[in-house]
Structure 1
Amino acid sequence: MKLFSNTITTLENAINYSNQKQKVIAQNIANVDTPNYKAKTVTFKDSLSSAMNANVTNNKHIPFSATNNASTAVVTKNGVTYNNSGNSVDMEKEMTDLATNQIYYNALIDRISGKFSSLENVIRGGK
């Protein structure tokens, strides 16, 4: 949805990332007792930083390009084991990630709600 700027699209991509991260965290927590289960994580910052630095033409420019192809990847953490069953889920880390993601999601929802409220105000003529 592109109304007036890329802000709504950017917020939508961030909400989709947060949603995917929530699913992966829930999957990790659900499999905490599954033997040989390897925890997963969602990566977004690597693809974001590579997209932001892709079109830098001058060192003095702010390295940002507005793209709609924000991508995330679910990565399995191999080679890490936290207990004798071969499971690599760290419950303390998962619960911390869950709380962090919830705060992030709430902030995004608050921001997109404010954006739509501003648009509604403009449509009504400031009344």
Structure 2
Amino acid sequence: MINKLDAALNFHQTALRVRNERQELLASNIANADTPQYKARDIDFKAAMQAAMHPASSTGTATGGLQKTDSGHMQGQPNQGYAGPGDPLFRTVTQASVDGNTVDMDAERNAYVDNGIRYEASLTMITGQIKKMLTAINGQ
């Protein structure tokens, strides 16, 4: 029974975790908008969800996409110099700045608000699922 409950809530739990990580990155970008040489970062939500839901299949191995194809190859370390699915990526520069900062405040604010709304939607959906389960358990 617990496995079924866990499976029913796993997707939304994962979505909330990924959205939270993304919100922290976006907030960091906004906070560092005036920091010289700061490079804005973001998470590809779709890739992060796929990596979280299917950790071994999304990157080929659980070691961040490094595969040992010959016995003479060195063993790779997880995520060493590799940006796999769900890892923070540097945002594409839309407008060059003199100080090397890549934060576009309009894009960051829009992404922050959009991610926040989607976070709230995930909370609403998981709350609805829990209410349905409670109704089924209580037999109403």
What range describes the TM-score normalised by the shorter chain of this pair? 0.7 to 0.9
User: After TM superposition, what 4+ stretches of structure 1 lie above 6 angstroms from structure 2?
Assistant: none
Task: Single out whichever of 109-118 and 70-79 deviates more from structure 2.
Answer: 70-79
Task: Tell whether 2:30 aligns with 1:29.
Answer: yes
Task: Tell whether 2:76 aligns with 1:98.
Answer: no
CA shift, 1:4, in A, is 4.0
CA shift, 1:99, in A, is 1.0
C-alpha change, 1:80 and 1:37, in structure 2 (3 Å) is farther
**Equivalenced residues, count:** 110
CA shift, 1:68, in A, is 4.8
- Percent of residue pairs identical: 28
The residue matched to 1:6 in structure 2 has which SS?
helix
Q: Distance in 1 between matches of 2:117 and 2:29?
A: 19
* 1:82 partner letter: A
CA deviation map 1:6-30 (0-9, x unaligned): 3310111111110001000000001
Q: 1:110 aligns with which of 103, 124, 138?
A: 124
Task: Tell whether 2:18 aligns with 1:17.
Answer: yes
Q: Which residue of 2 aligns with 1:88?
A: 102
CA RMSD of aligned residues (A): 2.5
The structure that is helix-richer by fraction is: 2
- Give unmatched runs, 5+ long, in structure 2: 59-84
